[in-house]
Copies of this chain bind each other. A is one copy, B any other.
Amino acid sequence: MQSLILPRDVIAWTGASLRFLDQTALPAEERLINTSDYRVVIEALRTLRLRGAPLIGVAAAYAAALAANEHLAETGTGFHTRLQTSLSEIASARPTAVNLFHAVDRMRGVAESYADPMQCATAMERTAAGMHEAEAQRCIAMGEAGAVLLPDEGGVVTICNTGALATGGIGTALGVIATAVRAGKRLHVYACETRPLLQGARLTMWELARLGIPATLIVDGAVPELLRRGEVRAAIAGADRIACNGDTANKIGTCAVALAAHDAGIPFYIAAPVSTIDFTAPDGGAIPIELRGPDEVRTLAGIPVAAAGCEVWNPAFDVTPHRLISAIITDCGVLTAPLMAGISRLRA
């Protein structure tokens, strides 16, 4: 009998290899991949078997450690030459993932600090594990800071996937929910399916089932009607980028959740590490919004669901204005209004 695959199995270092969950197979199949070949990790990043900004960084660091181990067989300067090439390959796995570049830069720094291949490989393995652990610690800090804000019982709405599958730790918004439930709060999660890519339906509902947290799936447009029923006490989401005034870019559909919460008089929280704050962006207007291709909306699993060739506007993110955000839960504590003042203190 196969043992139950849990969110903590999303990514793990075995000592000599990296074992991770193939997220493209979810929710239909729980497929673990175990590899000591960094090229397999690159392929997994390319094809979204591994996704979620923090998790991408962790996976890239482990890929670098795998590359170092592989190149130990080289003699002379061969180890460092080949390792640099491998690091460049890893850095090009995804075009725009900032966490990927940061992780590879960090691992390149470690590589350049050790002339001895064996010492270098050991340090890289230790650094990758440390980065994974730091990501997990940040999630725990957010969970503890945010859990007290959630109600003792009742419904909580969330959107997209912000759990272990996105972070390699307990998650951001989902980590706050999980921490509150572990502390004894009786919460029922309403997960928005999150069109167009359905991360809520495919990933969040899977994680919540594995965590044993009661959950119900809804279409994104159902939030106002759900809140009218009165059972939901809070809404919480993650963030892709936060501006200096608290305006927050997150998965498309987030602002609609915030508007519904505001109208219903329930709090709307953002949970995100401080690293998400863009101190160069004064407000949401300065955050670039990625526009993605039309076929994410026009087709589903290759099946046309719209008139062929019709024009589509498909922004990946939206900006929720700070006035709709009750608090931002970070790994360095909770920021409340005025958000700009709290963010400014974090910068200092």
Binding site for B on A (CB under 8 A): 26-28, 190, 192-196, 198, 201-202, 205-206, 209, 214-226, 228, 252-256, 259-260, 263, 289, 294, 297-298, 300-301, 303-308, 310-315, 317-319
- Nearest-CB distance from A43 to chain B (Å)? 24
Say whether B225 contacts A289, CB under 8 Å.
Answer: yes
Say whether A297 contacts B201, CB under 8 Å.
Answer: yes
Chain A interface helix/strand/loop/mixed: mixed
Q: Which residues of B contact A314 (CB under 8 A)?
A: 218-219, 222
A319 and B255 alpha carbons, distance in the complex (Å) = 20
Q: Which residues of B contact A301 (CB under 8 A)?
A: 300-301, 303, 305
Say whether B255 contacts A225, CB under 8 Å.
Answer: yes
A311 and B195 alpha carbons, distance in the complex (Å) = 18
The number of times this chain is found in the oligomer is: 2
- Nearest-CB distance from A303 to chain B (Å)? 5
Q: Which residues of B contact A215 (CB under 8 A)?
A: 310-311
Known A-B contacts A224-B318, A225-B289, A259-B260; the reply to A216 vs B253 at CB < 8 A is no
Say whether A306 contacts B202, CB under 8 Å.
Answer: yes
A253 and B224 alpha carbons, distance in the complex (Å) = 8
Say whether A221 contacts B297, CB under 8 Å.
Answer: no
Q: Which residues of B contact A256 (CB under 8 A)?
A: 220-221, 223-224, 256, 259-260
Q: Which residues of B contact A300 (CB under 8 A)?
A: 300-301, 303, 305
A201 and B308 alpha carbons, distance in the complex (Å) = 10
Say whether B27 contacts A306, CB under 8 Å.
Answer: yes
Say whether A219 contacts B220, CB under 8 Å.
Answer: yes
Say whether A303 contacts B303, CB under 8 Å.
Answer: yes
Q: A195-B195, A225-B255, A259-B260 are in contact. List 13 more A-B contacts (CB 8 A).
A: A27-B308, A193-B195, A202-B306, A215-B310, A215-B311, A216-B312, A220-B221, A220-B256, A221-B221, A222-B253, A222-B318, A228-B255, A228-B318
- Nearest-CB distance from A48 to chain B (Å)? 15
The 6 closest A-B pairs by CB, nearest first: A221-B253, A225-B318, A201-B306, A224-B255, A27-B307, A195-B219
Q: Which residues of B contact A289 (CB under 8 A)?
A: 225
- Nearest-CB distance from A140 to chain B (Å)? 25
A215 and B263 alpha carbons, distance in the complex (Å) = 30
A215 and B310 alpha carbons, distance in the complex (Å) = 8
Say whether A217 contacts B255, CB under 8 Å.
Answer: no
Residue on B with the closest CB to A312? B217
Say whether A217 contacts B313, CB under 8 Å.
Answer: yes
A101 and B311 alpha carbons, distance in the complex (Å) = 39
